[in-house]
Structure 1
C-alpha cells in the first residue's frame, strides 16, 4: 500500500520545547496513496485507482532538533538538522458531481429513490483478520461525475434543466449534464422518458477540506410520470420522515443514509447554520455536526484544520443533569486556525450561545492556536482536555483553568449526546469524541482525510497505543469518521482496517531488515527504504524508532538484536 504519513502539528512543541519536525513516509516510488475519495456531500465513485506521483522538496529545517542544543551551541553545530519534506499539490479548479432526486408522481410526499452505494473494493487478505469489520449498507441519492466540457465542445442534445440560472455562478451549459444523467438513470433502471421536467434544486460549493480543489455538487430533481412496477435490487423508496429518523436516531450497524439525502430533503428541518452571514464555508453532516475548515499552520498536503461545531438540532438548550459530565448549548472542537483568520473565528464565536464548551483533541499548534480568541470572546467558556495535553498548551493560548477528561465522560449539548473517547497513539493525551445521536466518531488526528498522520514520539506517541486505539474504534462500529484534516469518511471500518494493514506491513519489513542483520537505525532505514531517495531517510527514521520499540515490547526482535533498541538511540 502506498502511504504518506503526515504530521499536522507544525510549530507544536513537546514538554522539552523541541519543535516537532514533520515527517513523511513514502513507498519506493515516492508516491502517495489515493484517499478514499469522499466529496463534500458523498462518496465519489470515480476516485483514482493509482496514486499520483507527487514531487517532494526539502523545506526549512528545524532550527533546534536537539533540545540540549539551546544550552550548548557546539552540540547544535554537530547535530544534523532533519529536513522538512513538503508535498507540492496543484490546486487547479474544482470538479463537479451531479446528484439526482427522483420522486414519486405526486412529488416528495410520495417518497424518493435512493441507491445502495458501492463500498470500496476489498482485497482477499481482508477476509482474514479484518473480515468481520464490514461497514453497514449506505443508501443515498444516485450520483455521477459531472464532466466539464472542453473549450469549444458542445454538450450533446438531451435533458434540459429548468431554473439553471438560479444558483449564481453555476453555468450548466459548460457541464455535460446529459451524460451524467444517463449514468444516474442506469443506476436506477429508469429512462428519461419515464421522468418529468428536471429542475435545479441546489448547487453546493464544497468547503476547503483539501488536498485537492474540492468537489462541488449540482443537485437536480424530477418526478416520475408513474411508479415503476419493479426496481433494481440496489434501489428502494425512502420517505423524508424515514430518512430523518435514520439520520438522527442511529443504531450501530443499522442502514445508513448519506449526505445527499440530508442536504436534499432533511437539512432544512434539522440544521442550525453556525456560519450563516459569515464568509466561512461549512458543511453539516451528520445532522448537528458542522465542519468549518479554517486556514491553519498545518503542513501540506492540507491547508486547513476542521473546526467542529456541535449545536442542538431542535433549538433546545442544554441544562445541567447529574448523569452528564458537562452540559452546554454549543461545543467547539479544536479551534486551531492561524492568526490570519482569527477575526472570522471571533465573529463565529460571538454569534454562538454563551454557554460554550471547548474540547481540544491534542496540543499541536494547528489545533489550539485559536483558543485565545475563543477565551477572549467568551471568558466563561469551559475547556475540556486531557491533562497531558493541557501541560503542553501555553498560557498564551488559554490562561485560566480547565476540566480534565480521561475518556468515558458524557456531554450534553441540547438534544445532542456525546461520549469522550481516550485515543492515545498520535500523542499520549489524544482524545476522540463519539456523537451518540448519529454514531459519528470525531477522531482528531488519529485519521486524516488523505494518507495517515505520523505519531509524535516527543509527546508520548506510541505504536502499541496506536494499534489499540484503532481496534477500539473498529469495535465501536462508527457510521462516519470525522478527521480534523480533510473530508469525512463514509467507510470507517474499511479505512481503519487499511491503517492497520499498512502499519503492520511496514513493521514486518522493519523486522525482516533486523533479522537480515541490521543493527543500527541507519542499517534498518537503508534496508527498509533502499529504493527511496536518501533525502527521505532522516524523516523515515523517526517512525522506524517507534516500530522497533513496538517490536521490542512484543519480544519479537531476534536475540542477536537484543541490543538493537539501545543502538538505535546512539547511532
Structure 2
C-alpha cells in the first residue's frame, strides 16, 4: 500500500456533492484502487445508501455513524461482486431498510480475480428494472441497466444534482474488467454508448477512484480505447499470434505481470465480441480472422 493510499480518509463521511456523502472502505487492491466508495444520498430525514461495500465491521460502523438518525429508504447495489454488496445484509439488519437494486447473480468462476467473486449471500427485497425510481425528500434515484462488467450491473442517476453513480461500469482511475462468461464486451460497449447519449449527467461518482467531472469526454475515450484494443488484437492474429497467452505479453508491456491473467480475460471478451460479428473464429485456443 503506498503513502497516498495510507492517507485516505477511511471511516469518515465526506461531502462530495450537496446531496451526497462518501464513506471509503478500507479494502484497497489492484482492482479496487483505494477501496470501495459507499455513497449516502440525501441530507435530510430520508437517505439511500449506494454500494454498501464489503462486510467489514469498521466500514459498517462508519456508515451507521454517518446515517445517524436518518431513515434509510433503500440500500442499493450496482452489482454483486464481493467488494460492493456484502455489507447490505448487516446494514439492513441494523437499519431495517430494504435492499433494492440489482438482481442476484452468482457464478462458480468468473475468471482470475481473487478479490471479485460474486456475493452468494445477496438477497434483494426488490430488483429495479430500467427506469424504475426510488426517492426521499429532495432526491430521486433512477435505475439504468448497464450490463457488461457484470450482467446484473446498474447505474443510478440523481437528477436533482446531475450525478450518476456508475459502480464499476465507468471509473476515472482504470477501465472496467470484462471477464467472461458473465462479463460481456458487446453489452459493455452498448452500455457505454447508452451513457454517452445522456447529456444530462454532470458528474460520475464511481465505486472506486475520483469523481469524473467530464463524463462524456471520458466515455468517448473509453469507447475509443476499446476499439483500439480490438484493432490491436486483430493485428496480432493477422501476424500469426492467435493464442491469448501469447498475445497478452505483447499487448500489455509494462503492466504488472500479476495482472496478465485478468488482461487475458479482457482479450477473450473482445474476441467473443468479434466472433459474434463474424470477424474471427476459433479452434481450441487458436483464433484466426475471417476474410
What does the per-residue CA deviation read over 1:38-93, in whole Å, with 9 as the maximum and x for residues that have no partner?
xxxxxxxxxxxxxxxxxxxxxxxxxxxxxxxxxxxxxxxxxxxxxxxxxx634389
Larger RCO (CA under 8 A, 6+ residues apart): 1
Q: 2:261 aligns with which of 525, 538, 549?
A: 538
Alignment of 1:127-142 (within 5 A): none
Q: Which residue of 2 aligns with 1:89?
A: 2
Query: Residues 355 and 366 of structure 1: is their aligned pair in 2 closer, same or farther, counting only changes over 3 Å?
Result: closer
Whether 2:183 is the aligned partner of 1:456: answer no
What does the per-residue CA deviation read over 1:287-321, in whole Å, with 9 as the maximum and x for residues that have no partner?
2111121223654662321111111x5x4x6xxxx
Give the Å deviation of 1:345.
3.6
Query: Residues 338 and 374 of structure 1: is their aligned pair in 2 closer, same or farther, counting only changes over 3 Å?
Result: closer
What does the per-residue CA deviation read over 1:238-279, in whole Å, with 9 as the maximum and x for residues that have no partner?
xxxxxxxxxxxxxxxxxxxxxxxxxxxxxxxxxxxxxxxxxx
Larger radius of gyration: 1
Query: Residues 297 and 352 of structure 1: is their aligned pair in 2 closer, same or farther, counting only changes over 3 Å?
Result: farther
Cα distance in 1 for partners of 2:259, 2:240 equals: 22
Query: Contact 2:73–2:136 at 8 Å: present in 1 too?
Result: no
Q: Which residue of 2 aligns with 1:384?
A: 100
Query: Residues 386 and 556 of structure 1: is their aligned pair in 2 closer, same or farther, counting only changes over 3 Å?
Result: same
Cα distance in 2 for partners of 1:472, 1:441 equals: 13
Q: Which residue of 1 aligns with 2:120?
A: 394
Q: 2:196 aligns with which of 459, 467, 474?
A: 474
Q: Which residue of 1 aligns with 2:166?
A: 443
SS at 2:285 equivalent: helix
Query: Contact 2:26–2:59 at 8 Å: present in 1 too?
Result: no
Cα distance in 1 for partners of 2:5, 2:259 equals: 27
Where does structure 1 lack aligned partners over 5 or more consecutive residues? Answer: 1-87, 95-205, 209-279, 318-328
Cα distance in 2 for partners of 1:517, 1:441 equals: 43
Query: Contact 2:49–2:72 at 8 Å: present in 1 too?
Result: no
Whether 2:290 is the aligned partner of 1:567: answer no
SS at 1:387 equivalent: coil
For these two proteins, the number of residue pairs brought into alignment is 276
Query: Residues 93 and 331 of structure 1: is their aligned pair in 2 closer, same or farther, counting only changes over 3 Å?
Result: closer
Where does structure 2 lack aligned partners over 5 or more consecutive residues? Answer: 108-117
Q: Normalised by the size of structure 1, how large is the TM-score? A: 0.44
Query: Contact 2:184–2:269 at 8 Å: present in 1 too?
Result: yes
Cα distance in 2 for partners of 1:424, 1:92 equals: 30
Q: Which residue of 1 aligns with 2:139?
A: 416
Give the Å deviation of 1:445.
0.6
What does the per-residue CA deviation read over 1:132-154, in whole Å, with 9 as the maximum and x for residues that have no partner?
xxxxxxxxxxxxxxxxxxxxxxx
Whether 2:25 is the aligned partner of 1:308: answer no
Query: Residues 303 and 338 of structure 1: is their aligned pair in 2 closer, same or farther, counting only changes over 3 Å?
Result: farther
Query: Residues 303 and 374 of structure 1: is their aligned pair in 2 closer, same or farther, counting only changes over 3 Å?
Result: same
Query: Contact 2:49–2:74 at 8 Å: present in 1 too?
Result: yes
Q: Which residue of 2 aligns with 1:369?
A: 86
Cα distance in 1 for partners of 2:36, 2:26 equals: 6
Alignment of 1:12-23 (within 5 A): none
Query: Residues 342 and 294 of structure 1: is their aligned pair in 2 closer, same or farther, counting only changes over 3 Å?
Result: closer
Q: Which residue of 2 aligns with 1:359?
A: 76
Give the Å deviation of 1:527.
4.6
What does the per-residue CA deviation read over 1:109-159, in whole Å, with 9 as the maximum and x for residues that have no partner?
xxxxxxxxxxxxxxxxxxxxxxxxxxxxxxxxxxxxxxxxxxxxxxxxxxx
What does the per-residue CA deviation read over 1:330-352, in whole Å, with 9 as the maximum and x for residues that have no partner?
11111114424145246337624
Query: Contact 1:482–1:488 at 8 Å: present in 2 too?
Result: yes
Q: Which residue of 2 aligns with 1:515?
A: 238
Q: 1:285 aligns with which of 4, 11, 16?
A: 16
SS at 2:84 equivalent: helix
Cα distance in 1 for partners of 2:65, 2:18 equals: 19
SS at 1:361 equivalent: coil
Query: Contact 1:427–1:457 at 8 Å: present in 2 too?
Result: no
Q: Which residue of 1 aligns with 2:278?
A: 555
Query: Residues 529 and 417 of structure 1: is their aligned pair in 2 closer, same or farther, counting only changes over 3 Å?
Result: closer
SS at 1:441 equivalent: strand
Cα distance in 1 for partners of 2:19, 2:41 equals: 6
Alignment of 1:96-175 (within 5 A): none
Query: Residues 549 and 393 of structure 1: is their aligned pair in 2 closer, same or farther, counting only changes over 3 Å?
Result: same
Q: Normalised by the size of structure 2, how large is the TM-score? A: 0.83
Cα distance in 1 for partners of 2:275, 2:233 equals: 12
Cα distance in 1 for partners of 2:157, 2:167 equals: 11
Whether 2:222 is the aligned partner of 1:499: answer yes
Whether 2:187 is the aligned partner of 1:465: answer yes
Cα distance in 1 for partners of 2:135, 2:152 equals: 22
